[in-house]
Structure 1
Amino acid sequence: MKWYLEAFKKYALFQGRARRKEYWMFNLINLIILTILVIIEQVVDISFLTGLYILAILLPCFSITARRLHDIGRSGWWILINYVPFGSIVLLVFTCQDSQEGNNEYGFNPKVPA
């Protein structure tokens, strides 16, 4: 939950770097919350909860993905490859890569303790 809340502290921050752990923990908690909301919608027979949640989480998702791409030395604009056929596979490979060693043009390495 710490990683999820940390992403909301950087709600619209597209600068800097995000570790793999931060990115994947955010996505895991996001998936769990979405699953719970879908189950609640099915039980209570309402249909706007997931839509509101997705709308609220859209900017943090783009933000953390851009920072994750910065961590491997790529521009945040690589997010747009997701909208090309099979581009999501490329984006998945990028987000699974290890951090670039040392500092890069996007900031200091978050793996190195300050």
Structure 2
Amino acid sequence: MGPLAALRSCLSKSFRWRGRAARSEFWWFFVIFFGGLLATTTYTILSVESGEDVLWPPAVFLLGLFPASLAVMARRLHDKGLTAWLMLLGFVPFGQLALLILAVLPGDQGPNGYGDDPLGRAKPEGLTYGRSRVPLVRDDD
């Protein structure tokens, strides 16, 4: 998924917390999100230094995309078979680092409890216990 497709997908699913999000959708959205936030903040700092009082662009940008960023993070955690309540880790020390690590890891292959695989991969053959995967061992004897 490219950057524009990821932005379009995330904005259209701003209030949709169900389902799964592929890594490409998540990372392209956050590159655009933080790039835009950096650009609007830089514009505001430069405008304040030049004597203008323009403090609203970063706030409008942040408030406009904040629901989409929460929703895509929830769907990214669902792709790993995890609950969206783990986003509360962002409020504890090093919790944001843990969320970053979880966002980097590949999602579950095949459908899981939160929906179909966003990449369209089939479920691997194997025994399952809860959400973990145990490889199926067969005897050829």
Q: TM-score by structure 1 length?
A: 0.93
Q: Using the alignment, how far apart are the partners of 2:107 and 2:17 within structure 1?
A: 17
- Cα offset, 1:97, TM superposition: 0.6
Query: Structure 1 unaligned runs (5+)?
Result: none
Tell me what 1:49 maps to: 57
Where does the alignment leave 5 or more consecutive residues of structure 2 unmatched?
49-53, 122-141
What secondary structure, in the 3-state scheme, does the structure 1 residue paired with 2:58 have?
helix
Larger Rg over CA atoms: 2
RMSD, matched Cα? 1.2
CA distance in 1 between counterparts of 2:32 and 2:70 reads 16
What is residue 124 of structure 2 aligned with on the other side?
Answer: none
Aligned to 2:75: 67
Alpha-carbon distance in 1 for matches of 2:70, 2:17: 8
**1:104 equivalent in alignment to 2:112:** yes
The list of structure 1 runs, each at least 4 consecutive aligned residues, that deviate by more than 4 angstroms after superposition, is none
Identify which of 96, 99, 108 aligns with 1:88.
96
Q: What amino acid is aligned across from residue 28 of structure 1 in structure 2?
A: V
Shift of 1:39: 2.3
Partner residue, 2:42: 39
1:27 aligns with 2:30: yes
Structure 2 length normalisation: TM-score?
0.76
Q: Deviations over 1:4-51 (max 9, x none)?
A: 121011010000000000000000011111122122213333111101
Q: Percent identity?
A: 27
Letter in 1 for 2:69: C
Tell me which protein shows more strand as a share of its residues. 2
- After superposing the two structures, state which structure 1 stretch, 81-90 or 66-75, moved more: 81-90
Who is 1:4 aligned against?
A: 7
Q: Which has the higher contact order (CA 8 A, sep 6+)?
A: 1
In terms of fraction of residues, the more helix-rich structure is 1
SS at match of 2:63: helix
CA distance in 2, matches of 1:43, 1:87: 33
